[in-house]
Chain A
């Protein structure tokens, strides 16, 4: 019992190190062997050793360095055990590393390599985001599975398969030359955005994952300060996050953006997002995330000016559509035109879409209903809204739409 506070302190230190350095430690351990599974095992053994020894000997001055050294030793033991030759190489490498390691991994952050390998084009697109969440943030398959609506065991298998491929097919642990391969950065950014988006849909359970996505976004900005799109992505997520509280009213009902009370938006997050977007724009390189953030920035202005510059939003959507065409952006642009009062342009934009591609796309039918409403066609509005309702999964959004049908 007398050890209680000491154990608590040791546990807290280990947990803090786990939370703040997990990805850095895994990246550091796996970058040479490319073996994430083995790195995870070595690190979890190191955490166990920390919990066993820190209460007795005290928490080391640099818990991260302690864990890294312990985990490296585990790796070496394992390598020696499995293959005498490999063990010798590992031993040699670890000697080269000694002394240099602590300053070394602070300077060159291996997490970036890990992020790029997780979003490698040779990895199935659907597993990239979960893989990042697990290897860089240390989330378990249970939690990731529930966020992506996949059974934890299935998610666990998929993660293992991806990690096995990284190891066996020998994917490169390296930050690619982004001038030569700009799409590689897009893959990383998109995977982070997917993590945020999966949290966005799920208001109750998703908050934690949104925070993790923001953390990844911040990590990317600090690791790639020269990339405006990294800043753009973080700004975009912060604008969305700033409105989290305002998206539900007191009784938990969904509140769409135009009806939200700006006083319930987080000013701190908006200010941070504005600063990021301004810094990003100084690079003079247009990008999808900066543009989407700019659209959100215009919406955020309502908190100051009291009205929404619809014309600016339409223009930004046009730029976005030219740069990154997709059904989602096209529908967003149509919605912006309708809100701006350009009903005919909005209708034309909707008509131009391939009917097949929007058949089951809920936002399309919501925008169609809005168009009918603005044109004063109550009957068409109701039938279209019913159609949208049939495609809505989120309970709060369903309630919002069905309330409007009454």
Chain B
């Protein structure tokens, strides 16, 4: 089974990324987590994302393209990155989710990845 771990960070955590004193702790925690999950050999792929201030949201309404500055919704937590992992079941995925540094100030949403679509019959 493949699961995506959606790593939601709080604004405070995001601010720590560039903080003169706290950034070391922030990145240290993430590289420890990334090190552990890499070593387990379960990562399918994953990335960190730049902050919500760099986001642009696109919608098509009544045939018109609407482009808007910012993420799709204003929420307290912001998607800071993700991992897609291959593990046997949800319980194993939750174990990994609980180890992500952002569980303290933010959260991790775990969702099964849709299985690849079946090829149409010839």
Query: CB within 8 Å of B: which residues of A?
Result: 122, 168-172, 174, 176
Contacts and interface: CB of A to CB of B under 8 A. Distances in A.
Contacts, number: 22
22 contacts: A122-B90, A122-B94, A168-B112, A169-B90, A169-B110, A169-B111, A169-B112, A170-B1, A170-B88, A170-B89, A170-B90, A170-B112, A171-B89, A171-B90, A171-B91, A172-B88, A172-B89, A172-B90, A172-B91, A172-B92, A174-B91, A176-B91
Interface in B62-97: 88-92, 94
Given A122-B90, A172-B91, 6 more contacts: A168-B112, A169-B90, A170-B112, A171-B91, A172-B89, A172-B92
Nearest to B94: A122
A168 B93 CA distance: 14
B29 to A, nearest CB: 24
A176 B92 CA distance: 12
Contacts of B92: 172
Query: What 3 pairs across the A-B complex have the smallest Cβ distances?
Result: A172-B91, A172-B89, A170-B89
Contacts of A122: 90, 94
Contacts of A176: 91
Contacts of B90: 122, 169-172
Interface residues of B, number: 10
Interface string B1-41: 10000000000000000000000000000000000000000
Contacts of B89: 170-172
Nearest to B112: A169
A122 B92 CA distance: 12
A298 to B, nearest CB: 40
Nearest to B92: A172
A172 B88 CA distance: 8
Nearest to B111: A169
Most A Cβ at <10 Å: residue of B91, B92, B110: B91
Contacts of A169: 90, 110-112
Contacts of A174: 91
Contacts of B112: 168-170
B84 to A, nearest CB: 15
B39 to A, nearest CB: 21
A170 B2 CA distance: 10
Contacts of B1: 170
Contacts of A170: 1, 88-90, 112
A176 B91 CA distance: 10
A171 B110 CA distance: 12
A241 to B, nearest CB: 35
A182 to B, nearest CB: 16
A170 B115 CA distance: 13
B52 to A, nearest CB: 27
A172 B92 CA distance: 8
Contacts of A172: 88-92
Nearest to A83: B118
A115 B88 CA distance: 20
Contacts of B111: 169
A168 B1 CA distance: 10
B51 to A, nearest CB: 30
A168 B110 CA distance: 12
A174 B91 CA distance: 10
A344 B1 CA distance: 60
A271 B110 CA distance: 48
A188 B91 CA distance: 16
Contacts of B91: 171-172, 174, 176
A122 B91 CA distance: 9
Nearest to A174: B91
A172 B90 CA distance: 7
A86 to B, nearest CB: 12
A195 to B, nearest CB: 24
B93 to A, nearest CB: 9
A71 B108 CA distance: 39
Nearest to A181: B91
Contacts of B88: 170, 172
